[in-house]
A and B are shown apart, each in its own frame.
Chain A
Amino acid sequence: MSENTINLTLEVWRQNGPTEKGRFETYEAKGISPDASFLEMLDEVNERLIDDDKVPVTFESDCREGICGTCSLMINGQAHGPNKGQSTCQLHMRTFSDGDHITIEPFRATSFPIIKDLAVSRAAMDTIQQAGGYISVTTGSAPDANMIPVPKPAADLAMDAAACIGCGACVAACPNSAAQLFTSAKIQQFNLLPQGQPERWKRTEAMVDTMEDFFGTCTNHGECFEACPKEISLDFIAFMNRDYVKAKVKNRNLSGQKS
């Protein structure tokens, strides 16, 4: 707990709409408490903009405790800012020093069109999940929960994958705008469980193919892992790659069969 406030200079990307020309604008953020979160700092900047009768900066956030995945922001060239394993809402201003210059940009990728200022559309990520990110079980048809034991390591690994909050930082951090980390987490969450086996190969093909409709290709830089607020492992990407080529083998048609 510090009583000293800090002064910062912000370079904020402003863009009025998806097809408008964007630009950086400079704001002085004075008297910021180190205990404020990054988004609270932006709230304060916005309040002052409103006081000055100016249009506040549009940015998105919701839960502000690092679980909903709504917040984004490229802070000084790093998705969710400099701290590892944190989303922007969990980043606190004590990470910065008095006099710092901070560049704030939206997450960028062709499939993340800017809506306004720092808000982008991440709808393509939903499209990937809709393609197969589920286990087809109709309500009411489930067997007793303890009918199928799941080895603890498998359940734990599935949970590691399922921790993904779908924020899109992996895409934003990737020089190729690839969504491999997100997609692999969403696939493996199911592929690792016994319940996910019947649709495993179909799911993998459908979700990877949909991913490739929108995002780039993985060159194994590992930037996504560094940016991921949930520290989803790169190993899931390897699992996905393996399952995908296996799926091509398993899903091949019999001779004379139509797909």
Chain B
Amino acid sequence: MAQAMPNLRDPQPIRTRREPLPFPLNIWQSAVGRKWIMAVTGLGLLGFVLAHMIGNLHVYEGPVELHEYAEALRELGGHIIPRTVLLWVLRLGLIAMFGLHIAAAYTTKEISRRASDDANFIDGQKNYPGGRDYIAASYASRTMRWTGPIILLYLIFHLADLTWGLLPHTDYVRGDPFHNLSTSLSNLPVAIIYIVANVALAVHIFHGTWSMFQSLGLNNPRFNDARRILAAGLAGVILVGNLTFPILTQVGVIDPDDNPCEGSGSEAAALECFEAEIEKAEA
């Protein structure tokens, strides 16, 4: 006997209910609440991804402008808040959202696994041994739990590559984003990683955006059709925007040789070089 005799009249719960926490922590205690949190954090992350993509378009203005954009981010809050503090606040917010998003995804998936995988799982017989025919579930919706981890791994890679400078294929120079980006993406395997990961990201965003409306309960016959269009549109814009970076680097539009400060070698040298360049331009 692979399983205990189920009670056919009074079914056994698949999870135990806990004592309710005070509001708003109790939202987390339910799966519907967790999906709501996933949606809210997803919305935040989506905003970040979109802003990040748009900000990165500065690369097409040139190395100096990209440098200025990066500096501006560090200078957020102007002279009211010390340099990089607001940026860090935003980063911490992002990290928190990421954490919650992943935790919600993992735990709800775990509930679903318990709700479905054990279904008459007898002596190794799988759920629906006869196979399940998907009708509505899109490729995107069914692969959320694969695109999610891919994005997480890619994120770590991306941070190691262009934020922490830990990877060997670039001589990372802090303060020269153009250099870092152009040299990294000139490497074909790296470019392929970026392309694959961004396709996964777009697929994730496509289902995530539509799903977000459902989870938040944003539903109105007036705009319901627009939700799918918006999901596809956002995913498309982000995909196209993000893919231009590796592809245009590979074809040579973004070229390390265009960088006047290429070869600075250190943060201090790069900063000095860019300041000189800016002064030159102003003059």
Q: Do A and B touch each other in the complex, judged by CB within 8 A?
A: yes
Contact call A74/B130, Cβ cutoff below 8 A:
yes
Q: Is the interface of B mostly helix, strand, loop or mixed?
A: loop
Once A21-B122, A113-B120, A221-B137 are accepted as A-B contacts, the answer to whether A248 and B6 lie under 8 Å apart by CB is no
* Distance between Cα atoms of A103 and B34 in the complex (Å): 36
Top 9 nearest A-B pairs by Cβ distance? A242-B217, A216-B115, A216-B112, A77-B133, A238-B219, A176-B112, A177-B116, A222-B136, A252-B23
Instruction: Return A176 CB to nearest CB of chain B, in Å.
Output: 4
* Distance between Cα atoms of A221 and B31 in the complex (Å): 16
Contact call A219/B211, Cβ cutoff below 8 A:
yes
Contact call B11/A178, Cβ cutoff below 8 A:
no
Contact call B11/A113, Cβ cutoff below 8 A:
yes
Query: What's the tally of chain A residues with a CB closer than 8 Å to chain B?
Result: 67
A108 surroundings in chain B (CB, below 8 A)? 116, 119-120, 127-128
Contact call A241/B214, Cβ cutoff below 8 A:
yes
* Distance between Cα atoms of A77 and B127 in the complex (Å): 11
The proximity string for B residues 185-208 relative to A, scoring 1 for CB distances below 8 Å and 0 otherwise, is: 000000000000000000000010
A175 surroundings in chain B (CB, below 8 A)? 112, 116, 132, 137, 142
| Contact residues, A20-36 vs B (CB, 8 A) | 20-22, 24
B34 surroundings in chain A (CB, below 8 A)? 217
Instruction: Return A192 CB to nearest CB of chain B, in Å.
Output: 13
Contact of B26 among A20, A110, A223, A248 (CB under 8 A): A248
Contact of A178 among B112, B127, B216 (CB under 8 A): B112
B30 on interface, CB distance cutoff 8 Å:
yes
Contact call A235/B224, Cβ cutoff below 8 A:
yes
A115 on interface, CB distance cutoff 8 Å:
yes
Contact call A221/B17, Cβ cutoff below 8 A:
no
A234 surroundings in chain B (CB, below 8 A)? 214
B residues apposed to A, CB below 8 Å = 1-6, 8-11, 13-15, 17, 20, 22-24, 26-27, 30-36, 108-109, 111-120, 122-123, 125, 127-138, 141-142, 144, 207, 210-211, 213-219, 221, 224
* Distance between Cα atoms of A222 and B139 in the complex (Å): 12
A123 on interface, CB distance cutoff 8 Å:
yes
Q: Provide 7 A-B residue pairs closer than 8 Å at the C-beta atoms, listed in order of the A residue.
A: A110-B118, A175-B112, A175-B137, A176-B115, A214-B14, A221-B138, A238-B218
* Distance between Cα atoms of A240 and B239 in the complex (Å): 32
A59 surroundings in chain B (CB, below 8 A)? none
* Distance between Cα atoms of A19 and B125 in the complex (Å): 13
Q: Nearest A residue to B3 by beta-carbon distance? A: A19
A218 on interface, CB distance cutoff 8 Å:
yes
* Distance between Cα atoms of A244 and B24 in the complex (Å): 13
Instruction: Return B136 CB to nearest CB of chain A, in Å.
Output: 4
A residues apposed to B, CB below 8 Å = 11, 13, 15, 18-22, 24, 74, 76-78, 103-106, 108-115, 121, 123-124, 127, 174-178, 208-209, 212-223, 225-227, 234-235, 237-245, 248-249, 252-253, 259
Q: Nearest B residue to A12 by beta-carbon distance? A: B130
B218 surroundings in chain A (CB, below 8 A)? 238, 242
* Distance between Cα atoms of A237 and B217 in the complex (Å): 8
Once A111-B14, A239-B219 are accepted as A-B contacts, the answer to whether A220 and B207 lie under 8 Å apart by CB is yes
Contact call A123/B112, Cβ cutoff below 8 A:
no
* Distance between Cα atoms of A121 and B6 in the complex (Å): 10
Q: A11-B130, A21-B122, A216-B112 are in contact. List 8 more A-B contacts (CB 8 A).
A: A22-B120, A77-B132, A113-B6, A219-B141, A221-B137, A238-B218, A241-B217, A242-B217
A20 surroundings in chain B (CB, below 8 A)? 122
* Distance between Cα atoms of A239 and B221 in the complex (Å): 12
Contact call A115/B132, Cβ cutoff below 8 A:
no
* Distance between Cα atoms of A79 and B33 in the complex (Å): 28
B9 surroundings in chain A (CB, below 8 A)? 121, 123
For B1, B13, B115, B125, the residue with the greatest tally of chain A CB atoms inside 10 Å of its CB is: B115
